[in-house]
Amino acid sequence: PNTPSEYYIPEIINDEWQLKSNQIIVDGDEILGEGAFGVVHKGYIRMVDETEIEVAIKMLKGNSSVEEIKQFEHEIEIMKSVGSHPHLVSLIGCCTKMGHLGPFLVVEYCAKGSLLSYLRAVWEQLAGQPSESRYINTPCFAENNHTENNFSNKLYLLGDDIILDPQDLLSFARQIALGMEYLSGLRVVHRDLALRNVLMCENKIVKVADFGLSRDVYQDNVYLKTGTGKLPIKWMALESLSHQQYTTQSDVWSYGVVLWEIVTLGGNPYATISPRDMLSILRSGYRMECPKNCSLELYAIMRQCWRDSAKERPTFHDLKLMIEELLESDN
Ligand code: ACK
C-alpha cells in the first residue's frame, strides 16, 4: 500500500558520499530520462577547486511512496558498496535528506545515452526508416552467413562520423560481461539487465547501469504490471517468471537477451509474443531464433544463456572468455 512520503523520515547517513546542495547544479531543462517515479537530470558537481564535472542526477518525483523512497535508498547503499569498475556506472555522491531536491543519487554522466537508443539510431541510419522489426539489415558477422543485403562490413553512423563495425558489437558484449562478472563476484544480482540499462560513454566504452534494484519504468511498454510491481518479462529467466527466483544465473539469461538486442541493433525481443504468454512459451521449449546475419557461434552462446536449468548456464566469467574467443577469431 502506498503511504504518503510526508510520513517517512529517512535516515541521514553522513558519510563521504553525502553531497551538500550547494555543490550540485541541476540542469532543470535537460531531462535525460523520465519514468514512473523518478527523473534523471543532467547536472554538474562543483569540486573544491571550483571546477565542474558533468553528472547525471537521479531523483524521485514529489509523490513517491514510502516503499519507493526505501527502494531508492537501497539502490544508493548498493551502489556505495559496489564501488567503481570501468564497466559499471559509478556513484559520485548522494543526498539522503528529504530536501527540496532530495533524496537523490548522482552518477557519472554517460554522454551517448543508452546503448539501446544508440544502436537503434545506427539501425535507422542503415535502414532509412524506423521499424518494429529489426531482424534484417544487420551486417554483423557477415562473412560466415546468409547476408541478405550487400552492406559493407562497417556500419557508418552518419552525422557523428563514427564507424561501428562487427568487432565493436562484440566489444560491447565483452564490456557488459566484464561489468557483470565484477557485480556477480560481489553477489549483487542486477534483476534488470537489458540494453536500455547499458549506457554509452565516449570512445565506445559501455557501462551497466541501474543495478540497485530500484528500477524505474522509463519504457513503460516493456514492463508488465503484476501484483508486486512492474516486471521486464521478456528479459526474465524461466525461474524468475515461474518462481520469482533471481540469481546471478537469471542475470545470465538476461545477458543472452542483451546479446540478441546487440546483434539486431536494438530489436524488440519476442516481438510477436504477448508478455502474458511468455512463461508457457518458454516452458514449451521455444527460444528466439538465430537473427539473420548473426554467427552461429554467437547464437550458440545465447542459447546456453537460455538453458532451462540455471546451473547449466555459463557464468559471466565463462561468457567473457567465450566472447573474447570470438573477438580473437574475428581478427
Ligand atoms: O537512452 P537515453 O537517452 O539514456 O535514455 C535513458 C534515460 O536516461 C533513462 O534511463 C538516460 N540516462 C540515465 N542515466 C544516465 C547517465 N548516467 N548518463 C547519461 N544518460 C543517462 C538514458
Per-residue pLDDT tens digits for 276-307 = 999 999 999 999 999 987 899 999 999 999 99
31 C-alpha vs ligand 1 centroid, how far in Å? 9
Inform me whether the pLDDT recorded for 182 exceeds 90. Answer: yes
| Partners of residue 65 on adjacent β-strands | 4
Burial 237-269 (b: 16+ CB within 10 A, else e): bbbbbeeeebbbbbbbbbbbbbbbbbbbbbbbb
**CB distance 263 to ligand 1 below 6 Å:** no
**How much is the average pLDDT of 52-74?**
85
- The atom number, within ligand 1, closest to the CA of 118 reads 1
pLDDT band for 144, please (50, 70, 90 cuts): very low
113 C-alpha vs ligand 1 centroid, how far in Å? 5
Inform me whether the pLDDT recorded for 155 exceeds 80. Answer: no
32 C-alpha vs ligand 1 centroid, how far in Å? 5
Of 61-75, 92-106, 198-212, highest mean pLDDT: 198-212
Q: Is 89 known to sit in a ligand binding site?
A: no
Q: Is 40 known to sit in a ligand binding site?
A: yes
Q: Whose CA is nearest to atom 9 of ligand 1?
A: 33
Lowest mean pLDDT among 192-196, 228-232, 327-331: 228-232
Q: Is 266 known to sit in a ligand binding site?
A: no
Q: Is 26 known to sit in a ligand binding site?
A: no
Predicted TM-score (pTM) of the model is: 0.86
322 C-alpha vs ligand 1 centroid, how far in Å? 29
**CB distance 235 to ligand 1 below 6 Å:** no
**What does the chain come to in residues?**
331
Per-residue pLDDT tens digits for 264-280 = 989 999 999 999 999 99
**CB distance 218 to ligand 1 below 6 Å:** yes
pLDDT band for 150, please (50, 70, 90 cuts): very low
Inform me whether the pLDDT recorded for 117 exceeds 80. Answer: yes
Return the pLDDT at 76. 86
Inform me whether the pLDDT recorded for 152 exceeds 70. Answer: no
User: To which residue does cell 543508452 refer?
Assistant: 114
Cα 17 to the center of its chain, rounded Å: 24
CA distances, 11 to each of 80, 137, 203, 275 (Å): 16, 52, 39, 38
pLDDT band for 157, please (50, 70, 90 cuts): low
Pairwise pLDDT comparison (258 vs 295), residue with the higher score? 258
Catalytic residue numbers read 192
